[in-house]
Amino acid sequence: MKEKNSQGSHVSRRRFMKSAAGAGAVFAQALAAPRVHAASDAVVRIGNINSYTGGLAYAGENNLNGMNLYFDSIGWTVAGRKIELIKEDDQFNPQIGLQKAKKLIESDKADLIIGIQASNVALAVLNYMKQQKAFYVVSGAGTDAITWDRYPYLFRTSISAYQLSMPMAHYVYDNLGKEIVISAADYAGGRDVAAEFKGPYIARGGKVLKEIWTPLGTQDFSAYLTDIKSINPPVTYNFMPGADYIRFIQQYTEFGLKEKMQFTGFTAIDSQTVTALGKVAIGVMSAVTYTDTVDNPESKEFAASFKARYKYAPDLFAEYGYVGAKALGEALKMTGGDASDKDKLAEAMSKIEFNAPRGPFRMDPATHNPIQNVYIAQVIASGDGISTKIIHTAQNVQDPGKKIY
Amino acid sequence: MDLFVAQLLNGLVYGMLLFLMAAGLSLIFGLMNVVNLAHGSFFMLGAFIGYSIFRSTGSFWVAFVLAPIPVIALGVVMEVVFLRRLYRRGHMDQVLLTFGFTFVFLDLVQSVWGRSVLRLPVPAALQETVQIGWGVFSAYRLSLIAFGFAVAGLLWLLLERSRIGAMVRAGVDDAAMAAGLGANIPALFGGVFGLGVALAALGGVAAAPILGVYPGMDADILIPAFIVTVSAVWVACAARSRAAC
């Protein structure tokens, strides 16, 4: 499938033209003076893979917009080197993601790959990256297993399933109900999110009445919702990626479940919830690392410049992209723009620490997953539309980096 | 038993959405012998255009009635300008052409409406819920079932009991003979194609409050609809044991 001319890709194309012109100039120089080795002028080639079509297309686009916002802010140069972003679409399909990773590393000679929102794609690409000993920054996918085997050149700048599910499990047990039904999409991400909720919830004394697995791309959830209604738990925990989630929440509301059992979820509050569901989303509660109502100066500045540039409010996927690009940018600054020495770059990435829009962000050198705040947020009515309210904050949550549940 | 009834109704609702799609597909495939992979795109276009009409008029019903019209126009243009040339050239060429159109329509939708999921709310008159067994049914879902049966009845009347239906059936059996007897075959087939497209677009608007409106809904509905079409043809063939199947 061809890439579309969204706002985001427009910019990257313009950037591409610029950097292509730049590369042309370097080439011409090299012809004129063949003995001068322009290593310090070399372009940092960043490969980007996201789902730009399919159910997670909006997440991919937000992620890219966040990255572009950061690279714009540093003028697409780091330590005197030009940055070039080469964008590829995985179509939410592990096989295609793998092909695109091969293309980026082998024919485009990208120095590293950043992005990937879908857990199944992220895992498929990981094996290839290991074979190639290539540098890999995950700015989305939350599957736990990706950091378990400690691939030294892998860093995640978003979240792990554990990181969000554990605080949510504790909050639900303490405040909402001791019995629960868990529904999740039947793929790597869904299985992880459910397991990482179930473990801490049962450990605290809770009881899981039923786990429901819905196939990816389920259109009609009525059979599952009827099942949940017949079990009648006080609270439910639910996770499906992208468009599935919207349909699920919509039908959950339509079946009258929202008044009877509190809906809790995993990254359920994003730009799509706001645009697609609107008032239908009121009451939905979710663990997130970022909403545009996180109250700190970095968050306010990020939301303002994002809105000025793209004419809509940033969501957590946009923030994942921004923070991923910023972490990488800071690490490249430390190495003097050198992305070829992967050990040096990995060492720099391990030391990354800054105040992100989501709050304090610190890379955990042991697991290569960030240590960060997790928020339990709820969608509330606000004037004519909706807004989000943070009702609980879990400070500095750390991923264990291994299977514990 | 309650659970059984509830799940039966759940199945019927989704079945009706598939029926609207599959009816159009099998009209076009069964009567015109054309494999139309772009059928899902008409479903998607119906939903998106319905969404836009809803946004500007505020009425679901206006959207429901008007949205199929531009989609039919698009479908008929596609049939007259492109597809008609391929009738004699077998299924593979038709598949290639209509598959190409799915990409064109997908890109069109993404460039006009973006990539996010959009939502068409249930019309206010049908927002109430009805409790049946364990299931809670919105009046909207129940009326979808009724709508599906109504469409099925009208289609049957049109094809089996009307003069136009007789001409269409004659055209399918022997186009040259029917044309010789005065039936305008190209116009008739254009009309059948338009009817199929209209059913898909109506299905798109009707499904939008339940399934959402998003790029990619074309493929999501096309595959199950094709399975329905193929199995319906198979069942019909088995029942009639017609050699032609």
- In this prediction, residue B243 carries a pLDDT of 45
User: Does B214 contact A at CB distance below 8 Å?
Assistant: yes
- In this prediction, residue A115 carries a pLDDT of 93
Tens digits of per-residue pLDDT, B60-78?
999 999 999 999 999 999 9
The radius of gyration computed from the CA coordinates of chain A, to the nearest angstrom, equals 21
- The Cα–Cα gap between B138 and B143 comes to 9
In sign, the C-alpha dihedral spanning B30, B31, B34, B38 is negative
CA–CA min distance B28, chain A (Å):
25
Contact between A47 and A113 under an 8 Å Cβ cutoff? The reply is yes
Shortest CB distance from A230 goes to which of B3, B210, B211?
Answer: B3
CA–CA min distance B212, chain A (Å):
6
CA–CA min distance B199, chain A (Å):
19
Strand, coil or helix: what is A383? coil
From the list A213, A159, A169, the residue with the least C-alpha distance to A190 is A213
Q: What angle do CA B235, B210, B152 make, to 5 degrees?
A: 35
Residues 6+ apart with CB under 8 A from A309: A65, A69, A72
ipTM summary value: 0.71
Q: Which amino acid is located at A159 in the chain?
A: I
Beta-carbon separation of B13 and A58 below 8 A: no
CA–CA min distance B235, chain A (Å):
25
User: Does B245 contact A at CB distance below 8 Å?
Assistant: no
Contact between A185 and A239 under an 8 Å Cβ cutoff? The reply is yes
Query: Residue B134 — pLDDT band, cuts 50, 70, 90?
Result: low
Mutation to test the A interface, candidates B115, B140, B145, B220, most A Cβ within 10 Å: B115
Q: Could you tell me where the beta strands, DSSP code E, fall in A252-369? A: 262-266, 285-288, 353-356, 359-363
Contact between A310 and A7 under an 8 Å Cβ cutoff? The reply is yes
First to last CA, chain B: 39
- With a pLDDT cut of 70, the percent of chain A lying above it is 90
What element of type H or E holds A48? strand A44-50
Beta-carbon separation of A219 and B119 below 8 A: no
- Written as one string, the DSSP assignment of B50-108 is HHHHHHHH--HHHHHHHTHHHHHHHHHHHHHHTGGGGGGGHHHHHHHHHHHHHHHHHHH
Question: On the CB side of B104, how many CA atoms lie within 13 Å of its CA?
Answer: 12
CA dihedral A366, A370, A376, A380 (to 10 degrees): -170
Q: Pairing state of beta strands A77-78 and A44-50?
A: unpaired
From the list B218, B228, B185, B197, the residue with the least C-alpha distance to B40 is B218
From the list B216, B230, B210, B213, the residue with the least C-alpha distance to B41 is B216
Inform me whether the pLDDT recorded for B194 exceeds 60. Answer: yes
In sign, the C-alpha dihedral spanning B39, B44, B50, B56 is negative
- The Cα–Cα gap between A345 and A368 comes to 13
CA–CA min distance B69, chain A (Å):
25
Angle of helix B2-26 relative to helix A222-231, nearest 10 degrees, comes to 170
Show residues of chain A in contact with B211, CB under 8 Å: 219-220, 247
- The Cα–Cα gap between A202 and A336 comes to 48
Say which residue the tokens 């209604």 belong to: A229
More confident call, B172 vs A301: A301
- The Cα–Cα gap between B144 and B148 comes to 6
The radius of gyration computed from the CA coordinates of chain B, to the nearest angstrom, equals 19
User: Does B136 contact A at CB distance below 8 Å?
Assistant: yes
Mean pLDDT (whole number) for A160-168 = 91
- The Cα–Cα gap between B92 and B77 comes to 21
β-sheet bridge partners, residue A180: A208, A235
Contact between A248 and B38 under an 8 Å Cβ cutoff? The reply is no
Residues 6+ apart with CB under 8 A from A179: A206, A207, A208, A209, A233, A234, A235
Tens digits of per-residue pLDDT, A57-88?
888 999 999 999 999 999 999 988 899 999 99
- The Cα–Cα gap between B197 and B28 comes to 9
Show residues of chain B in contact with A385, CB under 8 Å: none
- The Cα–Cα gap between A357 and A319 comes to 7
Mean pLDDT (whole number) for A150-154 = 92
Q: What is each CA distance from A374 to A162, A189, A302, B172, in whole angstroms?
A: 11, 18, 18, 64
pTM beyond 0.90, yes or no: no
Which residues in A have their CB inside 8 Å of a CB on B? 1-2, 4-6, 52-55, 57-58, 61, 217, 219-220, 222-223, 226, 229-230, 242-243, 246-247, 250-251, 254-256, 271-272, 275-278, 280
Query: Residue B240 — pLDDT band, cuts 50, 70, 90?
Result: low
Least reliable range by pLDDT among A14-23, A290-299, B43-52: A14-23
Show residues of chain A in contact with B141, CB under 8 Å: 222, 254
Query: Residue A207 — pLDDT band, cuts 50, 70, 90?
Result: very high
Show residues of chain B in contact with A310, CB under 8 Å: none
Strand, coil or helix: what is A205? coil
Least reliable range by pLDDT among B29-38, B207-216, B230-239: B230-239
Q: Could you tell me where the beta strands, DSSP code E, fall in A69-110? A: 77-78, 81-89
Tens digits of per-residue pLDDT, B175-188?
888 888 888 888 88
Q: Pairing state of beta strands A179-185 and A235-239?
A: parallel
Least reliable range by pLDDT among A100-109, A159-168, A345-354, B6-15: B6-15
In sign, the C-alpha dihedral spanning A394, A400, A402, A404 is negative
What element of type H or E holds A190? helix A188-203
Say which residue the tokens 């003069």 belong to: B163
Inform me whether the pLDDT recorded for A223 exceeds 90. Answer: no
Residues 6+ apart with CB under 8 A from A93: A54, A121
User: Does B107 contact A at CB distance below 8 Å?
Assistant: yes
Helix, strand, coil abundance in chain A, percent, nearest 5: 45, 25, 30
CA–CA min distance A230, chain B (Å):
6
- The Cα–Cα gap between B227 and B89 comes to 24
- With a pLDDT cut of 90, the percent of chain B lying above it is 32
- The Cα–Cα gap between A93 and A91 comes to 5
Q: Which amino acid is located at A309 in the chain?
A: R
Q: Which amino acid is located at B235 in the chain?
A: V
Inform me whether the pLDDT recorded for A47 exceeds 90. Answer: yes
Eight-state DSSP code of residue A289: S
Shortest CB distance from B216 goes to which of A55, A246, A255?
Answer: A55
Contact between B37 and B98 under an 8 Å Cβ cutoff? The reply is yes
- In this prediction, residue A353 carries a pLDDT of 92
- In this prediction, residue A350 carries a pLDDT of 92
- The Cα–Cα gap between A338 and A80 comes to 10
User: Does B59 contact A at CB distance below 8 Å?
Assistant: no
Beta-carbon separation of A276 and B134 below 8 A: no
- Written as one string, the DSSP assignment of B190-224 is HHHHHHHHHHHHHHHHHHHHHH-B-TTHHHHHHHH
Say which residue the tokens 């400070």 belong to: A395
Task: Write out residues 12-51 of B within 8 Å (CB-CB) of A.
Answer: 13-14
Inform me whether the pLDDT recorded for A11 exceeds 50. Answer: no
